[in-house]
Amino acid sequence: MKHLRVARRYARALMSLAQEQKAVDAIAGDLQKIRDVLEPSREFRLLVASPVVSAARKAGVFREVFGRLISRETMAFLEFLLEKQREVILLAVIAQFESLRDELLGIVTAEVTSVVEFTEPQEKKLQVELERYTKRKIRLRFSLDKSITGGLVVKMGDTVIDASLRHQLEELRERFIESGPRSN
């Protein structure tokens, strides 16, 4: 939880800089590039988190890997994180920056869990329905979970819409239990 608060503070500072320079989209793009390299590479994440590797060495690696891919402002921010020994929260800072950007643009991320993959027309229909429901722009993220049996579960912030077969069966079971046995 502490790391989340610290990551949020750094993300706010970066967002403030990005807005001041009218470069929110550019910096968001840079951060996406960094995440695209960092997330799938366990070795790179271990290097970044290693207390044995000096900040100067890490900065050199970052410049080598990202120097031509990202702006000077984003590189300066990475070097600032290294200087403050906060590189271990880099992915959390990126996630928080994206969250702040979404707030700025009025976008809500909906985490959709289903037992089967959606077709493109189903995704579009769900997006339209959720946008009508929330009156905001929706970004859909999908995951599969066989345990929900059927239907779907949608999470948007603190809101959960559970239209899974598992949930419906649990509700039906509760109603049977509440009504109790009937005698004739």
CATH number of the domain that 98 lies in?
1.10.520.20
Both 117 and 35 in one domain: the answer is no
Q: How many domains would you assign to the chain?
A: 2
As a whole number, mean pLDDT of residues 29-47 equals: 94
User: Which pair of structure tokens corresponds to residue 47?
Assistant: 């290097």
Q: How far apart are CA 79 and CA 96, in angstroms?
A: 18
End-to-end, the C-alpha distance of the chain in Å comes to 57
pTM to 2 decimals? 0.73
- Residue 118: which of 151, 87, 149 has the closest Cα? 151
Please write the tens of the pLDDT for every residue from 3-17: 889 999 999 999 999
User: Which pair of structure tokens corresponds to residue 30?
Assistant: 């840079």
Both 139 and 92 in one domain: the answer is no
Please write the tens of the pLDDT for every residue from 70-121: 999 999 999 999 999 999 999 999 999 999 999 899 999 999 999 899 999 9
Domain boundary (47, 74, 103) is at: 103
Both 81 and 20 in one domain: the answer is yes
Q: How far apart are CA 54 and CA 11, in angstroms?
A: 23
Both 99 and 115 in one domain: the answer is no
Q: How far apart are CA 46 and CA 143, in angstroms?
A: 27
Q: Which domain holds residue 123?
A: 107-179
With respect to residue 153, please indicate whether it lies within any of the assigned structural domains: yes
- Residue 37: which of 118, 93, 91 has the closest Cα? 91
